[in-house]
A and B are shown apart, each in its own frame.
Chain A
């Protein structure tokens, strides 16, 4: 019987009541009295000299309050980059300015040029159309190989040859890795593309800037995954507003997937405009504008080589990757192809030598930054693809070749050759579970059944690992992070009932309002509904770093546990006083304090009341009140891992790939709410299947976004996806956080794309089509073309 509350219970998502009844409070639901509306005029060309922005006629149009241009920000900082990478030669990366509004040049379609503030959205649009621009169009550079060829247009003067950095990792292993290839029995080489994606959260971005003149306080309401980070970046680095005069509120947020981590120009503009004009201003992005203003994801070109011995043991891996930064460095962009990517190249295997070279490249396209998984999907995809190709070339079963190379279960902690040390794991265990839940034994019968229907059936597997619970601050500081990555929590026990938990984590679909109380409920022995989560408001909680990188329960949850432990410790002392006992003799269980060996007891509620009505209270040794704050900085990443299996049916006549089944066997460590974990995995796999079969962000040669709407950008729909088999009963608890949790938010998106493509290739091979590789998305036209090319 599953528990019905507390840790491990499938508690229903309490937030869904308001989400599903239309009662959510999203940023666009907020209207500040007297607010004006902002519309951005954006570049329609990918690259050009911005010779003139004439706002005179537009400013005189009805309803127009003010028009901002790049000149208004000439004396103000641009948008900062939160991570600095150093090249192989020791030089810091090229870090060209990222202006709030373009000045002198436009560098991608959608680059904001001017912001019109007017009484209505329509008036602002009318005026934006009336702004006279003189843009001298320049040749655009879109393709990464072209960009660094020496013959391409320069996106930034500060980045010669469009190179942001040329990173080597692990540089000390480079020579040894190259040598290992010299003597290898077999080398498999694969060139592949990790396709660019548009995050497309259901809720587009919105910002409202407000300014309270008497107090001098600015408030920004924004669709963010991390309001404190926005406050820090925007306050300190862009607008120069001290944090005590700046409040950032991210209320209900309808999905982020990474795209709502970053500090965007629109946030700075709205905050600046409200302060300058002394009136609230609101910007609401629509879907079309989101396509040309949200940071995009992935976009790597990689050549990976795997050296093996005669038994299929991995000897060495080397990779060369081009990573697209787009036209400007988004907040965490430089970290994605480096520290979130190179450090995962060991995967679940004992490969002793690994060397990755990553060149980050500027192009005249939208900025690229973290998207669900961020770097780890790119690492997993290339690794799990090249292993499959090697297995086929060497005639070894794909499960078997992985098993021969798995890090053994008794090898933990396991120091990889790529900096990270895995604390715990059991990859044979998750593979065993996968073989069972995906019914590998029945595959050949299913293949025959598909054949009888005229379809080619393929089975693809993947063994993934990810580094989550981001991140140990001291370590990431050495790696170039310009921020700490701790998390915080304040637990406030009220005098007459109820607990408020103020977390620095931010929920935008993850269900924190349900799972976090489960933990506190278990610890305090109090019903979940007595515990409320507060998040998303810098004015209501301690400084926190937000939600991304599957970090909320592993880092935010740990902070919450620490703060709750402090509450229990203090309450124990109060209880000891009330029971006239020594606190060492007081036990706390199921919400009741008692003195061992006696019948003395006092409940938690009485202790809480006593803390705020301290008539009978040890005031000489203990402060009144029952509120505690903890900051938690993890000592290591967490390493969720698992094995995925995908079965597809391919229609040779049309190239259509259908997902026949999908099974996941994950090890997330301990589980707080298995139902929510299922949901996170379902969503992640859905996005992974989207990347593998449907989604593709394409620019034409002139830098125009060819897939700029849902008419051409294929988002996965419910009927594109199968019913999933999800198992997370393989548990090796994390050894270094108090809950033993690892995080589950990104796993599905990391493990699924290689499983899908491996399955497609397997299906084609089974039909006699000699297709070694197929780039994502494996859309019908590409699959059909691959079949034709193999003839």
Chain B
């Protein structure tokens, strides 16, 4: 990797002050460090968020839970305060080493099209807390690696509402074990249904509205539509666009059945 300066931030204000220009925030570093080792990035400084007090810890609220941006996947997976569906999702990310370093804030900020967390955020209608203010998940994810974060802004935490039912089904890409297709399904106490899909689309995580409509009337695996159009789906070594589209339907059914 190329040389860079290292800044250890102790507060969000510290961190944002140090960001801007070619500075780069680092949380768990599970995407960033391999990128730097391959000399594919050359930040002037790394601003370490792991010591930011406001971004640590999991806080149970009334009908919701807030996870600090610097909380690791492992901590989420072990928490009794987060919805079981989110804990299970966190437990399925990467391997133990990744889960002990990687953070929810880093994942949501990076918005990898095959990452798991964006589907939970979108699938539960979470609120993304950023250093520039709160953003609804529906407005936050704006395409592959693209988010509502402005220049120099960071994700400080995520608040998930407590669902009546929710489940995440991940079909792993055999090599990376990222989601080839991951589907997060939820139903709120008022009956509102969300179906969020990661891994499949060239536009990143998205809500499958046809399935949501069908399930809103009858929350049953039987009503999940057949595969959506393969247009715009990712095609690569591990699966064609048609295969991914097919898996969306299969994984949605399984998620509903598991709720």
Interface residues of A in 626-671 (CB under 8 A from B): 653-655
Interface residues of B in 151-192 (CB under 8 A from A): 171, 174-176, 178
Contact across chains for A698 and B176 when beta carbons are under 8 A apart: no
Residue-wise interface mask of A (235-277) relative to B, using a CB-CB cutoff of 8 A (1 in contact, 0 not): 0000000000000000000000000000000000000000000
Contact across chains for B237 and A706 when beta carbons are under 8 A apart: yes
Of B38, B176, B240, B247, which is within 8 A of A712 by CB? B176
Contact across chains for B171 and A781 when beta carbons are under 8 A apart: no
Contact across chains for B240 and A781 when beta carbons are under 8 A apart: yes
Query: A784 interface residue, CB < 8 Å from B?
Result: yes
Size bracket, chain A contacts: 20 to 34
Residue of A nearest to B247 (CB): A654
Contact across chains for A780 and B39 when beta carbons are under 8 A apart: no
Contact across chains for A711 and B237 when beta carbons are under 8 A apart: no
Query: A156 interface residue, CB < 8 Å from B?
Result: no
Residue of A nearest to B253 (CB): A653
Interface residues of B in 233-249 (CB under 8 A from A): 236-240, 243, 246-247
Residue of A nearest to B38 (CB): A288
Of B176, B178, B238, which is within 8 A of A781 by CB? B238
Cα A129 to Cα B40 in complex, Å, equals 12
Known: A784-B243, A784-B246. A710 touches B176 (CB 8 A): yes
Interface residues of B in 48-75 (CB under 8 A from A): none
**Interchain nearest-CB distance for B254 vs A (Å):** 9
Contact across chains for A781 and B175 when beta carbons are under 8 A apart: no
Contact across chains for B171 and A654 when beta carbons are under 8 A apart: yes
Of A125, A288, A653, A712, which is within 8 A of B175 by CB? A712
Name the residue in B171, B174, B176, B239 with the highest tally of chain A Cβ atoms < 10 Å from its Cβ.
Answer: B174
Residue of A nearest to B177 (CB): A717
Query: B250 interface residue, CB < 8 Å from A?
Result: yes
Contact across chains for A785 and B240 when beta carbons are under 8 A apart: yes
Cα A288 to Cα B35 in complex, Å, equals 12
Cα A729 to Cα B243 in complex, Å, equals 45
Size bracket, chain B contacts: 10 to 19
Measured between beta carbons, the chain B residues less than 8 angstroms from A189 are none
Contact across chains for B247 and A707 when beta carbons are under 8 A apart: no
Cα A653 to Cα B175 in complex, Å, equals 20
Measured between beta carbons, the chain B residues less than 8 angstroms from A710 are 175-176
Residue of B nearest to A698 (CB): B237
**Interchain nearest-CB distance for B108 vs A (Å):** 20
Contact across chains for A780 and B174 when beta carbons are under 8 A apart: yes
Measured between beta carbons, the chain A residues less than 8 angstroms from B38 are 288
Contact across chains for B238 and A779 when beta carbons are under 8 A apart: yes
Of A653, A712, A785, which is within 8 A of B237 by CB? A712
Query: A694 interface residue, CB < 8 Å from B?
Result: yes
Query: A696 interface residue, CB < 8 Å from B?
Result: yes
Cα A475 to Cα B81 in complex, Å, equals 72
Cα A714 to Cα B178 in complex, Å, equals 12
Query: A713 interface residue, CB < 8 Å from B?
Result: yes
Contact across chains for A714 and B174 when beta carbons are under 8 A apart: yes
Of B174, B176, B246, which is within 8 A of A779 by CB? B174
Residue-wise interface mask of A (121-147) relative to B, using a CB-CB cutoff of 8 A (1 in contact, 0 not): 000010001000000000000000000
Cα A715 to Cα B239 in complex, Å, equals 17
Name the residue in A653, A712, A715, A781 with the highest tally of chain B Cβ atoms < 10 Å from its Cβ.
Answer: A781
Contact across chains for B243 and A781 when beta carbons are under 8 A apart: yes
Contact across chains for A654 and B237 when beta carbons are under 8 A apart: no
Measured between beta carbons, the chain A residues less than 8 angstroms from B171 are 654, 780
Contact across chains for B246 and A694 when beta carbons are under 8 A apart: no
Measured between beta carbons, the chain B residues less than 8 angstroms from A694 are 174-175
**Interchain nearest-CB distance for A697 vs B (Å):** 10
Measured between beta carbons, the chain A residues less than 8 angstroms from B176 are 710-712
**Interchain nearest-CB distance for B176 vs A (Å):** 4
Measured between beta carbons, the chain B residues less than 8 angstroms from A706 are 237
**Interchain nearest-CB distance for B46 vs A (Å):** 16
**What 7 A-B pairs have minimum CB-CB distances, sorted nearest first?**
A714-B175, A781-B239, A714-B174, A711-B176, A781-B243, A653-B250, A712-B175
Could you pull out 13 A-B pairs where Cβ atoms are within 8 angstroms? Answer: A125-B39, A655-B243, A696-B237, A706-B237, A711-B176, A711-B178, A712-B236, A714-B175, A715-B175, A779-B174, A781-B238, A781-B243, A785-B243
B residues near A (Cβ < 8 Å) are 38-39, 171, 174-176, 178, 236-240, 243, 246-247, 250
